[in-house]
Structure 1
Amino acid sequence: MNTITAGGIAVHCSHDEIVDISTLIPHPRNPHQHPDKQIQLLARIIQYQGWRTPITVSIQSGYIVRGHGRLLAALYLDVGQVPIDCQNYSSEEDEYADLIADNRIAELAVMDPTLLAEILEDLQASELDLDLTGYNAEEFADIVKQFSIPDQEFPEYDESVADTVKKVTCPQCGHEFPV
């Protein structure tokens, strides 16, 4: 099986085409800012994972609508090509709405810290560079320490307790249910 690449990096996402990054035009009204630290981390993730999400380009305006950070990461990596997805927005307003919603929706997500700690503990036992999770070593250790659930010994089930539980019998099927 041939692996598709863009700029020498494997492409694992659906996309419409692979284009030269010099043809892409960032949206001049993009309100999202991307600090260098974020771009460097994103570049490392793309280099390790490959392209998992294409850059979205509006057919109407020709501007990038989603993926400004991915473009900056590609520039940081000095790759010449990226995968893109071309979108046909019905209006300029729809394009702006998607431009804004792309990052805002992610901001509204809520992380389950206990599940996160569990996954991070699993990753800690692997060979994976833990920085690729987006958490630095200090944040990583703090989450695991604060939200890990210690292994617990549960008492043996005592069948004698079952006899003390009140039960009600269903008049139709005769099954007994604890109350």
Structure 2
Amino acid sequence: MTAPLFVGEIPIADLKPFPRNARAHDTRQITQIAASIEAFGFTNPLLIDEQNQLIAGHGRLEAAKRLGLTEVPAIRISHLRDAEKRALMLADNKIALNASWKLDILAAELADLSTFDLGFDIALTGFEVGEIDLILEDNDSHTPLQAETAPQPDRTRATTTQAGDIWQLGPHQVMCGDALSVTDLANLMQDEQADVGFTDPPYNVPIQGHVSGKGQVQHREFVQASGEMTEDEFASFLTRALSLGAQHSRDGAVWFACIDWRHMGEMRAAGAEAFDEHLNLCVWAKTNGGMGSLYRSQHELVFVFKAGAGPHINNVELGKHGR
């Protein structure tokens, strides 16, 4: 007959890890477990025997220590022989690994959670950003998207937004400002520092003939850098914009800056002046080719820079996720 289970709070100082625990928990996983406990609570008690020796939950115990907890919930069992405890320890870890995912449902769940305002990092699920990207990509239905007609603003009405206005959109802020203005950047960022920046500046080419043709979608010329600048003027324009962004970025922040093939030199020079390291050059492969006669570009070049000497956060992890 199975003995009744004891469930209660046990002082961490009284617990004894099993000396021959075969399961390894690296620092990354302990960090994940600790973050889960902080977000959701200690929902999975440890499993211990009559002498407070751990049978299951070594990773959770280490995470609890990292969080500074003094007590943890535990289930005490007293009906197993020593060999059975050791077998249970292996089974507790191994049996869960024998399960597989229903990838279509998993992808749907991750896609839904990615669209919610969760109030916490989706990585608390245990899936990292690179893994989620791969799962969603591999389970994409490949249904072609239907083109939508963008609503056209009524330009006869008086403009509401003025230069310097900051709009609050939920947790986000959007400023009608000048990326070359010290005042505008200071007003927008206040005391915050950016973890990442993405900028798509004008390329110093006229819109007409390069972006807008005879199609339905027409674009107005940029206020600046729409073909009127010399090479040196455009380089200075980019350097000033990137430098201001770097000043409002944390040490190790990553910046992505789009540019066309004609002005790669100016962007690289500006990035070298504004940032501390040129990390890479990415190619954004698009679905449709742009305007052109000899070669129609179906991509956009994205320079990747780092602000400061601190380490950057790597959420891509190409080798780890097989990409």
TM-score range relative to shorter protein: 0.7 to 0.9
1:23 aligns with 2:11: no
Larger radius of gyration: 2
Alignment of 1:1-179 (within 5 A): 16-59=7-50, 61-128=51-118, 129-149=121-141
Query: What is the CA distance between 1:127 and its match in structure 2?
Result: 2.0
* Structure-1 separation of matches of 2:101 and 2:19: 32
Structure 1 stretches lacking a partner, 5+ long: 1-13, 153-179
TM-score, normalized by length of structure 1?
0.72
Query: What is the CA distance between 1:151 and its match in structure 2?
Result: 6.0
TM-score, normalized by length of structure 2?
0.41
* Structure-1 separation of matches of 2:85 and 2:111: 40
Q: Which runs of 4+ in 1 moved over 4 A?
A: none
Query: Which has the larger share of helix?
Result: 1
* Structure-1 separation of matches of 2:132 and 2:95: 24
Query: What is the CA distance between 1:142 and its match in structure 2?
Result: 1.2
Which one is further off, 142-151 or 130-139?
142-151
CA RMSD of aligned residues (A): 1.8
1:3-43 Cα deviation digits (max 9, x unpaired): xxxxxxxxxxx971112111110011111110000000010
Question: Letter of the aligned partner of 1:22 in structure 2?
Answer: A
Query: What is the CA distance between 1:89 and its match in structure 2?
Result: 3.3
Task: Name the SS of the counterpart of 1:16 in structure 2.
Answer: strand
Cα–Cα, structure 1 residues 15 and 49, in superposed 2: closer, same or farther, change >3 Å? Answer: farther
* Structure-2 separation of matches of 1:90 and 1:27: 15
Question: Letter of the aligned partner of 1:90 in structure 2?
Answer: L
Task: Name the SS of the counterpart of 1:30 in structure 2.
Answer: coil
**How many percent of aligned residue pairs carry the same amino acid?**
30
Task: Name the SS of the counterpart of 1:19 in structure 2.
Answer: strand
1:16-74 Cα deviation digits (max 9, x unpaired): 11121111100111111100000000100011010111001012x43100100110110
Structure 2 stretches lacking a partner, 5+ long: 145-323
Query: What is the CA distance between 1:88 and its match in structure 2?
Result: 1.4
